[in-house]
Amino acid sequence: MAKSWVNSAERIGADLHLELTGGPGGRRAALIRALREAVRDGRLPPGTRLPPYRSLAADLGVARNTVADAYAELVAEGWLTARQGSGTRVAPGRAGQSSRAGERGVVRPARHAGQGPLKGAPRARGPRPPHDLRQGTPDASTFPRAAWGTSYRRALQQAPNEVFGPGDPAGRRELREALTEYLARARGVRTGPERIVVCSGFAHALRLLAASGVLRGPLAVEEYGLGFHRDLLAAAGVRTVPLALDEDGARVAELGRERAVLLTPAHQFPTGGPLHASRRVEVVDRMSARGGLLLEDDYDGEFRYDRRPVGAVQGLAPEHVIYIGSVSKSLSPALRLGWMVLPEGRVADVLAAKGEREAWASVLDQLSLADFLRCGAYDRHVRRMRQRYRGRRDRLVAALAERAPHIGVTGVAAGLHAVLRLPPGTEASAVKAAVWQGVALDGLAAFRHPAARTPPVDGLVVGYATPPEHAYGAAVEALCGVLPPEEG
């Protein structure tokens, strides 16, 4: 046990002890193995600066080029990072992977099982797969650091002292006012600040709704959606009932007697279409007739590429819709900020579930987001990202048209992901081929409600926002390589 208390903040300099054991590939390969091992077991913690080529080469008695080659290889593999002026360092989040997993006594199911250092790497932990096309996260390299930093600084300077005391569980009034204005303008949401409750993201919103008693009885959900949300609801005692989808979105005419339904009207997740106008009206009519609620998950409503802006359903019937949004797709999931817009009569229950004081969302981040929205930085960032993602979508569509014209692409009018329709029965093998080729993505089956009754559709869900810009072309290339060939 004593070993785990060793000061792990130690930094290496000339005293990096590596054993170059024999094996295939000579000294260069041995050095790569030794360094990888030192990173893996935590001897080289993240951020550690590695010795210059010259000194490590001298210490080990190898040529300088051998060290340079080894570093370059490990940078390419994601274990190290090299930046102008900052030298070569251990990449963040790489250290202690294997030992930590062992200590925890769990090996998480591998989302990507490729070769080499990627083998068995758990999702948010191990080195990234070479081609990460999983849906769900924006390009992390595009976070608007400077603009966000400006808003944070301004918020920190201008905050009245009481900001640093216990927080209002509804969220800062400044943020709720800024959201009122933004959501009305950008999403057609009708609200006032007093009907907004700030939370830490969509999952937190679902938990609060379940805990508050606002969700009682079974909840209808689209037959394709995030299993994580279904599991979370089940754990909170809310049973989900699948609702079939077609090209017009959820078939709301088939709603059973459920008094609440969770939909993604702007961009069905993951299949990708908007809910048809007539169904938007129909679902709110049904819910108001039975005193029920539509939960509107507007997870990527800002990112629409065609000329048809799809506003929030909430605007049609604010008293029968709970509108839920967050910055997780538009800015970053790292901020942990989201919001609910509630019917007037539900605010008290949700606040009661949230507690006497703000227990979740960072108050300084709330104020920063308020400033970021007010000063126009949010709009600018969304515009910029919309252009970038649109460009990526176009590249994907063009590549598929050229390389795999038999594969249909759907759901590309909006959002951060596309669905590639595959010939029946080919999805599982395409996903397997992708894993082998180092392409991380999910098949539609991963999103299907276990009780769904319509025949399953074969398809791949391709998140085109996730890779950094420079890696995108290669990812699309690799993707084309794993698609099933044309039949017949």
Exactly one of 63, 76, 124, 234 binds its own copies (CB under 8 A); which one?
124
**CA neighbor of 411 nearest in space, from 450, 366, 358, 457:** 457
Minimum CB distance to its own copies smaller for 170 or for 275 = 170
Least distance in angstroms from the C-beta of 173 to its own copies: 6
Exactly one of 76, 156, 234, 253 binds its own copies (CB under 8 A); which one?
156
Q: Name the 3-class secondary structure at 258.
A: coil
Binding to its own copies (CB under 8 A): which residues in 392-451?
A: none
Minimum CB distance to its own copies smaller for 88 or for 426 = 88
Q: How far apart are CA 321 and CA 302, in angstroms?
A: 19
The alpha-helical segments, DSSP class H, found in 342-447 are 347-354, 363-374, 377-403, 427-436
Exactly one of 19, 103, 306, 394 binds its own copies (CB under 8 A); which one?
103
Q: How far apart are CA 91 and CA 69, in angstroms?
A: 17
Classify burial at 120, counting beta carbons within 10 Å of its beta carbon; exposed 0-12, middle 13-18, buried 19 or more: middle
Exactly one of 19, 162, 394, 486 binds its own copies (CB under 8 A); which one?
162
**Residues 413/306, Cβ–Cβ less than 8 Å:** yes
Minimum CB distance to its own copies smaller for 21 or for 84 = 84
Minimum CB distance to its own copies smaller for 283 or for 367 = 367
The site that binds its own copies (CB under 8 A) totals a number of residues, namely 96
Least distance in angstroms from the C-beta of 276 to its own copies: 26
**Residues 447/270, Cβ–Cβ less than 8 Å:** yes
Stretch that binds its own copies, among 21-29, 186-194, 243-251, 382-390 (CB under 8 A): 186-194
224 binds its own copies (CB under 8 A): no
**Residues 464/473, Cβ–Cβ less than 8 Å:** no
Binding to its own copies (CB under 8 A): which residues in 187-216?
A: 190-195, 200-201, 203-204
The alpha-helical segments, DSSP class H, found in 139-249 are 145-158, 173-187, 202-211, 227-235
Exactly one of 41, 69, 143, 241 binds its own copies (CB under 8 A); which one?
143
Least distance in angstroms from the C-beta of 53 to its own copies: 22
- Kind and range of the H or E run holding 74: helix 64-77
Least distance in angstroms from the C-beta of 335 to its own copies: 6
291 binds its own copies (CB under 8 A): no
The residue whose two tokens read 């594969």 is 407
Stretch that binds its own copies, among 5-13, 51-59, 214-222, 377-385 (CB under 8 A): 5-13
Binding to its own copies (CB under 8 A): which residues in 322-341?
A: 332-337
167 binds its own copies (CB under 8 A): yes
Task: Give the phi and the psi of residue 338 in degrees, each rounded to 5.
Answer: -150, 180
Q: How far apart are CA 417 and CA 462, in angstroms?
A: 5
Q: Which two tokens stand for residue 407?
A: 């594969």
CB atoms within 10 A of CB 375: 15
CB atoms within 10 A of CB 367: 22
Stretch that binds its own copies, among 177-185, 265-273, 406-414, 420-428 (CB under 8 A): 177-185
Count CA within 13 A, CB hemisphere, residue 186.
Answer: 21
Binding to its own copies (CB under 8 A): which residues in 351-390?
A: 351-352, 355-365
- Kind and range of the H or E run holding 102: helix 97-104
Least distance in angstroms from the C-beta of 374 to its own copies: 8
Minimum CB distance to its own copies smaller for 215 or for 250 = 215
Exactly one of 13, 47, 425, 481 binds its own copies (CB under 8 A); which one?
47
Q: Which two tokens stand for residue 405?
A: 């014209």
100 binds its own copies (CB under 8 A): yes
Exactly one of 157, 453, 487, 488 binds its own copies (CB under 8 A); which one?
157
C-alpha distances (whole Å) from 248 to each of 136, 273, 436 are: 23, 7, 35
123 binds its own copies (CB under 8 A): yes
